[in-house]
Amino acid sequence: MSLYLQHIDHVVGGVTHISRMELELEPGSFNVLLGRTLAGKTTLVRLMAGLEQPSQGKIFMAGKDVTGVSVRKRNVSMVYQQFINYPSLTVRDNIASPLKLAKTSKKEIEQRVGEIAEMLRIEHLLDRYPQELSGGQQQRTAMGRALVKEADLILFDEPLVNLDYKLREELRDELRELFKARNCIAVYATTEPNEALALGGNTAVLHEGKLLQYGPTDQVYRRPNSRHSAEMFSEPPINIVPGTLNHAAISFDPSLSFPCDSGLLNLAEGTYDFGVRASHITLSPTSPSDIELPVKVEVAEISGSETFLHVSHERFPLVLHLAGIHEFHVNDPIKIYFPSHQLYAFDKQGSTVYVPAGQGGNLNG
């Protein structure tokens, strides 16, 4: 079954939540909706489910127009942020509930519930009630209820956001494996670029209700089609530094100029926004083309086993994404190494005109 959103608008009270959305999802595909809060992810999920109707445009499932068809008449399942389970029912009965509504035989219900519970590693919890479960077990139960239905379309609206990091990582890995063997369409909404990368499949980057880019996840990450897409698909957001390309050199200011990467020579001379990912700036040189920059520390954010180091050059701020724990003091003078060979280039309209070697090269060549 395919899913096609054709020129979808969704306007509520004069406020546009989805604008001119054109998106086609293939049968058996795993698709991530990536965007910040209020990007339109939840609205899009609800439109796909039939919980909301578009103000304009049409939705097709398997080639059939289902625009006005209610969620009850679509073969879809949903998993939400909250652990939505029936508190008075056991795990077994929670998972079985959609099958009972469909008047499935007891024998088939028993078989399918057992298979799903084993797949989600909660077979030993089938006789417990939701209040007796941990957060991760409750979310597995909710997922089991969505998966047991064998829906054509399964929608996940930030399902792991309320779980701790370890549980999120565990369930994310399980989800990816689960859908390798299923022929339904899965749609997974998240605010986190790293989650999109971990899940793989395809990614649709959303911003203010608009689709910026859609394609295989690694391709969208490596070859963003715009500055906005690059910023959305980076954690922390990609560093942007205005500069000038002139006579085979890039200048960020009169005192900071360096030879440009050979691929950039195909671009017209002029001003551009240059982007560099936080993980590509380092504390020690990794390439002969790295540029040593004197900076001051603004703040070091330690998150688990990684550090987000915010620094300021006299002309621009930068963020480094460092593996491991690094302790710095505010206003410490340090040297960092800026990878001149890892620069993206965006024109004045925000379109990507160059991606660095290893990511795809000149988009115009």
Q: Residue 122: give its domain's CATH number.
A: 3.40.50.300
User: What are the structure tokens assigned to 138, written together?
Assistant: 């409750």
Final residue in a domain of this structure, among 232, 256, 271: 232
Same domain, 279 and 162: no
Same domain, 90 and 187: yes
Average pLDDT over residues 177-185: 78
Same domain, 165 and 314: no
Percent over 90 (pLDDT), the chain: 73
Question: For the chain, how many structural domains are there in total?
Answer: 2
Give 289-331 pLDDT, tens digit per residue.
899 999 999 999 998 789 999 999 988 999 999 999 998 999 9
Same domain, 56 and 30: yes
Same domain, 58 and 181: yes
User: CA–CA separation, 361 vs 359, rounded Å?
Assistant: 6
Pick the residue with more confidence: 359 or 222? 222
Q: What is the CA radius of gyration of the chain?
A: 24
Output the pTM of the full model: 0.90
Q: What is the pLDDT of residue 363?
A: 56
| Confidence band for 216, pLDDT divided at 50, 70 and 90 | very high
Supply the CATH number for residue 283's domain. 2.40.50.140
Give 90-149 pLDDT, tens digit per residue.
999 999 999 998 899 999 999 999 988 988 889 999 999 999 999 889 988 998 998 898
> What average pLDDT does the structure give for the chain?
91
Q: Side by side, which strands form the sheet with 202-207? A: 76-79, 153-157, 185-190, 30-34, 202-207, 210-216
Give 189-214 pLDDT, tens digit per residue.
999 999 999 999 999 999 999 999 99
Final residue in a domain of this structure, among 232, 257, 289: 232
Same domain, 13 and 118: yes
Least trusted range by pLDDT, from 173-187, 201-215, 225-239: 173-187
| Confidence band for 360, pLDDT divided at 50, 70 and 90 | low
| Confidence band for 162, pLDDT divided at 50, 70 and 90 | confident
**Residue 179 belongs to what domain range?**
3-232
Residue 8, CB-side half-sphere exposure with 13 Å CA sphere: 29
All residues at 6 or more sequence positions from 72 whose CB lies less than 8 Å from its CB, including other chains: none
Residue 362 forms part of a structural domain: no
Residue 359 forms part of a structural domain: no
Residue 364 forms part of a structural domain: no
Same domain, 254 and 111: no
Q: How far is CA 172 from the centre of its chain?
A: 12
Same domain, 163 and 309: no
Closest CA to 81 of 134, 143, 158, 172: 158
Residue 360 forms part of a structural domain: no
Percent over 70 (pLDDT), the chain: 98
